[in-house]
Structure 1
């Protein structure tokens, strides 16, 4: 089981955040053996496919450069043109093989770990120059595996090379008696098949290296229980910070609520435990809106602000509780309370008319009707 630098056991699977951060740092599973195998197979396969054309092209280049007219020696610039022509022909002959190698060089790395470009991985790090860290890497499990892979590759390629040369012994001896053109094409074919069989010997090394790289990368990303807890705190927010944010949000909401109380038409109380402030705008035709509500100490503050700004305060315990529990701030009251609130607003209007000397004193307000589904007991 892997251990962290502090000695804690890494027993937890990596989180999505750890995996994402590792990719950003360029820390993903990569197999150099798989990349080498892909390039070797592409190169040897391309050599087999284009070997004949490549040999013919090289033969043509040699013929053109060793047999030219005598007049060309005395013509200024002819040698330069000769060189450009030979270079163009060589590039044209090597282009298909170079294309195969380019594709393999791209496909090999992305076949394990996917496409990734990390600028952070390119940045110089002082830790890479630390002698102690270098010695630790030299004697690590990964270094031992790399050494075993190198020895295995040497032995495999050596054995396959001897086998291939033995199988092509007759072809190699026959080339000495073939015409030059035939010998060049034949040698390219033999070289291609020999390189292909030696490349196939690397399949075994890659088959061992790929699972090891996946396992090694997984071990590096394992996390301790404490790291998982710390990451959860960072992603979800520390409890004390979240509590402080909620407290500030409540305070801001209460300030906005208290600032809206002077605009209310009436404050209905319990009379001590609950208080709700309602506003009705007849020009809009909408239902009354709850501007503020509170219980206990907050209810007392609502009443104090209402008295300071001469907002009408009425006692209706049942209606105050019903509005408090059924309506959110800045929302219209439910349809079931339309009749009860309408009676309260009508009573407030009559009482204001009386206070202004424009009407008689209204009779005491009866208890507003509260539907059973909206009624809340003490």
Structure 2
């Protein structure tokens, strides 16, 4: 009952931090059906491309043992070892392409679902993995019910496919009883290819559903309560590194916005390289000029360069620039004490034309 209440209280989506922590611990969404489907496709490819030729090579290599077993030399231990390695080599040549295809299919299925990462947490011994209570919970929990439903579906689908396939190939199977023995392997291979192909087609829908469900279930397990969200926010806000990073980002955004506003300034008052203040004045509405940007040293040089590149007049007044830099803030009207000197500069600009600041 408490577990159900806990799940009901998790109403908030998982934060980026919780998702990142889960990924670092190896807790990733994973569909077993996708891996199984990749294995089936690998079996189908192996049967279609390798089983026939490799079986012929294997039977040809073993024919001398089967046709004349009495002629095999076994007089010493060396003869037995040589016979073993010969049989092992033939079997390895038969199985190696099939094993490689199956391994490649499973690897591709895993890589397509998640990025590969080394996680020691997944191999660390944990009591929950061997605990009977935890195992009982996994079997009879929500995930256990879903896995049971998928198993029932796969069993029913495979059984139906086998029945239909055997019924359609009934005549061929009965006819094989009176055919040459060397024709039976090709018949069995054809039936196996048809069977695996039908199973692959039947499980495509299950794989697609399981891929979606695995991710939705993973997200649901990571959901957070409102209290967990608050605690995580407090921890993040209290971290000096995080706070410094947030302040840095805020300053960077403010500086970027300030530089973007310089081209629409009416004038820039400079000193001449140490300070720069960009002002905007609306001749129609009147009122006090608005501070669009201000900066010292390198920022002042950048403000001046942007202004000059966009044709904004730059007026050099050392005392005024220095005094205004300490007294004004960006996105505010200039204080009343600067009305008169700024008004003189504006009158000078409007009276002399666009070349007045040059």
Give 1:53's aligned residue: 53
- Residue 201 in structure 1 maps to residue 196 in structure 2: no
Q: CA deviation at 1:20?
A: 0.9
Q: CA deviation at 1:58?
A: 3.0
Q: In the aligned structure 1, how far is the partner of 2:243 from the partner of 2:197?
A: 63
Which is helix-richer, 1 or 2?
2
Q: In the aligned structure 2, how far is the partner of 1:203 from the partner of 1:105?
A: 16
Q: In the aligned structure 2, how far is the partner of 1:146 from the partner of 1:19?
A: 24
Give 1:225's aligned residue: 226
1:56 and 1:185 in contact (8 A); partners too? no
Q: In the aligned structure 2, how far is the partner of 1:101 from the partner of 1:145?
A: 26
- Residue 93 in structure 1 maps to residue 97 in structure 2: no
Q: CA RMSD in A?
A: 3.8
Give 1:107's aligned residue: 108
Give 2:151's aligned residue: 150
Give 1:82's aligned residue: 83
Q: 1:132 to 1:91 in 2, by over 3 A?
A: closer
Q: How many residues align?
A: 264
Q: CA deviation at 1:103?
A: 0.6
Q: CA deviation at 1:131?
A: 4.5
Q: Give the match's secondary structure for 2:12.
A: coil
Q: How does 1:333-372 map onto structure 2 within 5 Å?
A: 372=341
Q: How does 1:1-378 map onto structure 2 within 5 Å?
A: 6=6, 9-68=9-68, 70=71, 72-74=73-75, 77-237=78-238, 372=341
1:55 and 1:184 in contact (8 A); partners too? no
Q: 1:114 to 1:337 in 2, by over 3 A?
A: closer
Q: 1:228 to 1:220 in 2, by over 3 A?
A: same
Q: 1:93 to 1:135 in 2, by over 3 A?
A: closer
Q: Give the match's secondary structure for 1:27.
A: coil
Q: CA deviation at 1:154?
A: 1.0
Give 1:314's aligned residue: none
Q: In the aligned structure 2, how far is the partner of 1:129 from the partner of 1:94?
A: 35
Q: CA deviation at 1:220?
A: 0.9
Q: 1:197 to 1:327 in 2, by over 3 A?
A: closer
- 5+ residue gaps, structure 2: 248-272, 275-293, 297-315, 323-339, 343-358
Q: In the aligned structure 1, how far is the partner of 2:154 from the partner of 2:166?
A: 18
2:65 and 2:72 in contact (8 A); partners too? no
Q: CA deviation at 1:119?
A: 1.4
Q: In the aligned structure 2, how far is the partner of 1:173 from the partner of 1:229?
A: 72
1:65 and 1:82 in contact (8 A); partners too? no
Q: TM-score, normalised by structure 2?
A: 0.62
Q: CA deviation at 1:176?
A: 2.7
Give 1:362's aligned residue: none
Give a deviation string over 1:355-378, Cα, whole Å, max 9, x none.
Answer: xxxxxxxxxxxxxxxx946xxxxx
Give 1:302's aligned residue: none
Q: Which has the larger radius of gyration?
A: 1
Q: In the aligned structure 2, how far is the partner of 1:128 from the partner of 1:23?
A: 19
1:41 and 1:200 in contact (8 A); partners too? no
Q: Give the match's secondary structure for 1:77.
A: helix
Give a deviation string over 1:154-186, Cα, whole Å, max 9, x none.
Answer: 111111111111122222223333333332233
Q: CA deviation at 1:102?
A: 0.8
Q: In the aligned structure 1, how far is the partner of 2:90 from the partner of 2:102?
A: 19
Give a deviation string over 1:208-227, Cα, whole Å, max 9, x none.
Answer: 32221111111011222222
Q: Give the match's secondary structure for 2:177.
A: helix
- 5+ residue gaps, structure 1: 247-286, 289-325, 329-334, 342-370, 374-378
Q: In the aligned structure 1, how far is the partner of 2:62 from the partner of 2:18?
A: 59
Q: In the aligned structure 1, how far is the partner of 2:201 from the partner of 2:143?
A: 24
